[in-house]
Amino acid sequence: MSPAQHEATVASTVGAARDWRRIGIWLVSVTLVYNIVEALVALWFGSQAESVALLGFGLDSLIETAAASMLLWRLSLEARGADPERIEETEHMVHRFVGGTFLLLAAYVTAQATWTLAAQEPPAETWVGIALAGLSLVLMPLVSWGKLRAAREIGSAALRAEAKETLACSYLSFTLLLGLGANAVAGWWWADPVAALVMVPWLVKEGREGLRDDACCDDEEGH
């Protein structure tokens, strides 16, 4: 390869990384705005309906909001040409932060769902929660896919970790939809806390991985 060709290849690679960084920033920004609205709706209607699954969904949205905010900071540092060492430190900090909050959410869901089952207090029907879960189940996998692609292109483990949390939102949307739908249609009050408990293994798994800080874009590409 001639020097001119090498230079053109490098310039093309740098340009592509810059484009994917912009896409990553846009997707994280969309996640941030969406999850602020999602959290407000889920927590309000969850408290009104005394729905453990919906309240847990709202808390997950708050966690995603915090993670998205940190990711915007991390991506903006790189966009401004910050020192690579500082960027790397930020990535590790974001991943550990997300891991810790996953475990806190797992503890909350377990405690509240267990209490609801023991007290046998059925939650009120909430069609708003069902609609919210359905919307998130459609949108979040698409957003997550885009962020995973951007993470791979720019080599950001932190962005990948945040994208996996968006995938967790998709998983939570499914369990929430299952629990709320069963309660509203069939009157199975216990489906709501059981659906909440189904979230826990996923939350614990992601939390442990985050605290170990062992996610890597390259290692997980083929998974």
pLDDT (tens digit, 9 = 90+) per residue, 81-119? 767 788 778 778 877 887 887 888 788 888 878 887 887
Rounded CA separation 133/127 (Å): 10
- Model confidence at 211, pLDDT cuts 50, 70, 90, reads confident
Domain boundaries, the chain: 3-212
Contact between 38 and 81 under an 8 Å Cβ cutoff? The reply is no
- Model confidence at 2, pLDDT cuts 50, 70, 90, reads low
pLDDT for res 219:
45
Q: Is the dihedral of CA 32, 35, 37, 40 positive or negative?
A: negative
pLDDT for res 143:
92
Rounded CA separation 155/150 (Å): 8
Mean pLDDT along residues 199-220: 72
- Please tell me the class of the 3-212 domain: mainly alpha
pLDDT tens string 166-209: 887 787 788 777 777 777 787 787 877 887 788 789 889 878 88
